[in-house]
Amino acid sequence: MLSFAGRRLISMIGVLLVLIAAVFVLQQISGTDPVRVKLGPNATKAIVAAERERLGYEDPLPVQYFHYVEHALTGNLGDSLRTGQPVLSDIVNFLPASLELVFFAFLVGIPLALALGIFGAARWRGFGAFRFGLLTTGAAPQFLLGAVAILIFYHHLNWLPASGRTSYANAPTGPTGFLTVDGLLAGRPEVTLDALDHLIMPALALALLPAVAVGRVLRGSMIANLRADHVRVARSKGLTEWQVLIRHCLRNSAGPALAMSGLMLGLVFEGLIIVETVFAWPGIGSYVNQGIPKDDLPAIMGVTLLLGAAYVIVNTIVDLLQAAADPRIRS
């Protein structure tokens, strides 16, 4: 297991370096001059040229790439052209809202995926309607799910808020950045309950598609395992169907579902920008969306690098979990 983990970690470092190179190349071919955007259209050519020289844009490309890698590894992602602040500082400010949303999306998505996989494989009575509803909503685009949810639960029923993280202007801002936690730490449970109300719709919109994809893979893998010899032996010992499913099928079926979970993380990151825009959620998705019209290339590429690195790291963790669940993968 240690040898397998070492190989995966070395591979992860290589992929991260390739990712940094890809982001660097995208910056070079984007056609946007960050210096001109930063200084404005009224800046003279001499001022622009001097600033390009100061920032190193006139250096040879290999030198620029070396400095870019050095800066990326030290957290120096440049300054946002829109806010004027270091991109890393902006990310630190906006990231907790996105992390809280993703965390609750996982809290919603994991039970849905397990229910779709386990109950679908068991073919329990009455599950067909739940499966049909889950597959139907999971097939809808996330912006459409968000718009329909706002229309029903906000405009018509007035059950849930339509946008933002909280209705309180003086909501606590620390220490964790998670309003659901900070409200409790500040002795204000009403803030926590309000934050949960704001989380329900965006978390569902973000979680449904990955949950359906992972649940379908888990269901197919469990159905295949239910035909295996060791399951027949377990049934012959008098174990209940639930015991057979949980003890003898779920772990053996976890590998493909974990692999799909790693792949679905990319869709979560993609959906984050859409969902945060629809629900006016003040996270890094909204931060990027606000930077696109302003050609805020350092902010866009900084967030791209962050999400790409997170995707690579999480998939490495998924590989390690798969190896723990199925020792055959380690060879």
Q: What's the confidence (pLDDT) of residue 264?
A: 78
Place of tokens 């990712």: 19
- The model's pTM is 0.81
Q: What's the confidence (pLDDT) of residue 195?
A: 93
Assign domain 87-330 one CATH number from 1.10.10.60, 3.40.50.620, 3.30.360.10, 1.10.3720.10.
1.10.3720.10
Q: What's the confidence (pLDDT) of residue 331?
A: 57
Q: What's the confidence (pLDDT) of residue 328?
A: 62
10-residue averages of pLDDT along the chain (331 residues): 74 82 79 72 78 76 82 82 86 91 90 84 72 78 88 90 89 87 91 93 90 86 78 75 75 76 77 89 89 83 85 79 66 57
Alpha helices, DSSP H, located in the chain: 2-29, 34-39, 45-55, 61-73, 87-122, 127-138, 142-150, 179-185, 189-225, 229-236, 241-243, 254-278, 284-291, 297-325
Partners of 79 in the beta sheet?
Answer: 86
Question: What's the gap between Cα 196 and its chain centre?
Answer: 19
